[in-house]
Amino acid sequence: MTNSLVFKKAKTHLVGGVNSPVRSFKYVGTAPLLIKRGKGPRVYDYDGNSYIDYVLSYGVSILGHAHPGVVRSLKNTLEHGAGFGATNSREVELAGLIKKADPVIEKLRFVNSGTEAVLGATRLAKACTGRDKIIKFRNSYHGHADYLLEEIDKGSAEGIFKKHGSRIAGVIVEPVGGNCGVRLPDKDFLKYLRRITRKYGSLLIFDEVITGFRFKFGSVSDILGVKPDLICLGKIIGGGLPIGAYGGKARIMNKLAPLGDLYQGSTFAGNPIVMQSGIATLKVLSSSKNRYSSLEKKAKKLTDAIKKERDDLQVIHYKTIFSLRFRKKAHFQSFYKKLLKKGIYLAPSENEANFISFSHTEKDIDKTIDAVKNVLREI
């Protein structure tokens, strides 16, 4: 099957031919990339073209695609059944690995997506405090629940607390922004949020669905020195399979049923196949703790080279993630299409982050730099 034939059939059966809007490539005004397979830092379409991948399933595939250890582990696990709707040793093992890596988490609960993790954490904040309001900030994304699509500006936080403090159950924030392009962490503001939530008896929730295990073996809260009450995880901890988790101090988490009164359940949470994928991935990452700096060096090399090329191109980089934004959207669209033809796959929107994986080589980075330079000279 060819790309065009697959997409023609997709549009017949799926809304817009996709199961998530950004996959439509509407922002860049071109037909979407349809991916047949991936290996290491590359993906391959149905026409046989290969691309160096900086999307990595939107940050999931930190080891690259089809890591042999993860694949082998999944095959062995699948022989014993795909799921049981009952507790299994693999979810216990993965929870232990996460707890060991993140001292904020004493207990956790697995769910099936980042959206679900945030939904669970915010409901838990309300149950713990007996309050009904959650604060989130402009240009942050915490899933598609209706009440999480409303927002305030950072500068409004103090006024909101003065007016509604007794009703605010929690504040949720991305410690490093990744859903309006990359946004650098504001350590002073995060410390302020920690102080004001304690003052008013509200919970501070870090959405680390993107950042958990992305910059170190653990959460970015360790790097920033700000400890939230609850942390939401996803993406990397599932090793490429659907997952979410939220955790924090035992006294908070124990409000969940069956120990507490707040009900939350799921048929697929703790699925043994997903859990084994996460275990295999985190074990590789644990043995690679000292190699995170190599990802940072590659990201810096790439972004530093791009920054030198154009004054109208904003490059924002934090450790192992980066985003690009032109003054004119049309320039990004042209840049994107030309770069894709040269075999470089970036996020198809200026509002999305790009990622470096452990599978990217210096050769991949150098090829990308050359391609970017050539394309920028053409537009």
Name the residues annotated as catalytic: 141, 207, 235
Helix 362-378 × helix 292-307 angle, to 10°: 20
Question: How are the residues of the chain apportioned to helix, strand and coil, as percentages rounded to the nearest 5?
Answer: 45, 15, 35
Helix/strand/coil (H, E, C) string of 14-38? CHHHCCCHHHHCCCCCCCCCCEEEE
CB 233 within 8 A of CB 244: yes
Q: What is the separation of C-alpha 229 from the centre of its chain, rounded to a whole number of angstroms?
A: 20
Q: Can you give the C-alpha Rg of the chain in angstroms? A: 21
Cis peptide before 68 (omega within 30 of 0): no
Other beta carbons within 10 angstroms of residue 55's beta carbon come to 21
DSSP bridge partners of 203: 170
DSSP H or E segment with residue 296: helix 292-307
Say whether 196 sits in a helix, a strand or coil.
helix
Residue 317 burial (10 A CB sphere; 0-12, 13-18, 19+): buried
Residues 6+ apart with CB under 8 A from 119: 143, 145, 148
3-state secondary structure of 316: strand
Report how far residue 218's alpha carbon sits from residue 221's, in angstroms, rounded to the nearest whole number. 9
User: Three-state DSSP class for 103?
Assistant: coil
